[in-house]
Structure 1
């Protein structure tokens, strides 16, 4: 989808981080924007900012883990703008710790948002985009942790591996409808996902188990943290070029290579 001007983009997790930065970048391309986020106050602020850039924009409070709310998001988006051409399933959360320490509520919350949230976006928007007959693009935010296992992020990795697989399969399934698919797989980005537990429902453990990274942890990662504006630029470029994989960090390459080398060598085992 090379020409974005006048097209409509729906972005979940759109009130902050990669979502908001991508909204800025897409507004600069002349797109109309629907921002969805679970936090109403942050959403209102984000909508005002994007509107100040001269873009047509609306905000719809949405918990992507709830199918009926994503259906409402789609209904309102199509009703307001008459069509949707780009869907960015970007909302995400994280819980840190070894797998053996994860509670059932931890698993349920992470998979509910990070995997089911993407599934809800796909099953709700894609059939309508196909029926619309104008082509388009779907972007799903996964992670480097969806390509290579990350210690301490087991539940997150499980969800993000699922997002990668979903995106790869979806790309094949809807190619004939002129709808492209990209899966965004960043390493460390300057977002507030470390504090995502602030939005954790009480029924799923409440706002308790954030990543809680120490100053030492942040110092170790500092050299690898990318600003969200740079990631947003890569997202827009990836859409225009119809790249399946949007990989933000060159330093991820050797880790990915080693993983597939280990898999390849496993065929030699007797």
Structure 2
């Protein structure tokens, strides 16, 4: 797919982080951009910034876990711009879960699944039929993570499970689009290859009341800055990937019609090989042992 001036890109989770970086990058290509996010004030700032830079922007406050909210987003996007060519189902949250899996608050799972899994499905159902009916080349990018998408980090198991689901959902979407001989492609994005400075660590700021914790946390939430400081104090230097690099990777992946938007990483490759070997050998998942012992 060629990205050309006048096309339309929809990005969820677009008020900050990877989503905003992708919206900026699409706007730089001359695309009209539809920004969707649950955080209204941040969304208004992002839309204003892009508009000041000359982009044609439509911003809507959307809860991707609410099907009607996403369907309304599709309606307003098509009513305003007449078409959608790129859909980035990018909105995501951490879960806030702590302790062993059997100790988790069920609402941590419900909230994470509502956004990270149902949010992607709602985006597919709201936009893909219209993209297919339009007959023009298009592309869907679903944001996963190395945590879960490649192998789980058991200390963040809720998030990992949701991101594993995104990979399988996107594989299925790819197969269905191919079966239709559609001009619409699909990709699964693994942001990286290193840590990213995003608002994911403070996801709880946007947690809906319907998914409120049923019991208080035993430990306070830790910000990215606090985690980074703790890592440095322990003698571990943390490397970060700029979100702008992720956005550039997405644009190049779309134009190359690349399904696996998976940046080169020795660490990721080791995980993939270790997990694959474990399955092929019918062996225990030894690649998890360092986490199991924590």
Shared fold per TM-score greater than 0.5: yes
Aligned position for 1:196: 203
TM-score in terms of structure 2 length: 0.86
Aligned position for 1:212: 222
- Post-superposition offset of 1:222: 5.0
Q: Stretches of 4+ moved more than 6 A in 1?
A: 207-210, 218-221
Question: Could you tell me whether the CA contact under 8 Å between 2:150 and 2:268 is conserved in 1?
Answer: no
Q: Which moved more, 1:25-34 or 1:170-179?
A: 170-179
Question: Could you tell me whether the CA contact under 8 Å between 1:65 and 1:120 is conserved in 2?
Answer: yes
Aligned position for 2:164: 161
Aligned position for 1:261: 277
Question: Could you tell me whether the CA contact under 8 Å between 1:47 and 1:57 is conserved in 2?
Answer: yes
- 1:170 and 2:170 matched: no
Unaligned runs of 5+ in 1: none
Size of the aligned set, in residue pairs, is 267
The 3-state SS of whatever aligns with 1:223 is coil
- 1:31 and 2:31 matched: yes
CA distance in 2, matches of 1:221, 1:252: 19
CA distance in 2, matches of 1:253, 1:221: 21
Aligned position for 1:229: 244
* Cα distance per residue 1:75-102 (max 9 Å; x no partner): 0000000100110000000124332231
Aligned position for 2:14: 14
Question: Could you tell me whether the CA contact under 8 Å between 1:99 and 1:152 is conserved in 2?
Answer: no
- Considering only CA atoms, is the larger Rg found in Structure 1 or Structure 2? 2
Question: Could you tell me whether the CA contact under 8 Å between 2:197 and 2:242 is conserved in 1?
Answer: yes
* Cα distance per residue 1:166-218 (max 9 Å; x no partner): 10111111131111111111252111100011000122126976862533247
TM-score in terms of structure 1 length: 0.93
The 3-state SS of whatever aligns with 1:137 is strand
CA distance in 2, matches of 1:196, 1:164: 21
Question: Could you tell me whether the CA contact under 8 Å between 1:4 and 1:30 is conserved in 2?
Answer: yes
- 1:139 and 2:149 matched: no
- Post-superposition offset of 1:221: 7.2
The 3-state SS of whatever aligns with 1:189 is coil
CA distance in 2, matches of 1:48, 1:202: 29
1:88-99 matches, cutoff 5 A: 88-95=88-95, 96-97=97-98, 98-99=100-101
Question: Could you tell me whether the CA contact under 8 Å between 1:183 and 1:244 is conserved in 2?
Answer: yes
CA distance in 2, matches of 1:70, 1:242: 25
- Post-superposition offset of 1:265: 1.1
Closer, same or farther in 2 for the Cα pair 1:118/1:218, shift >3 Å? farther
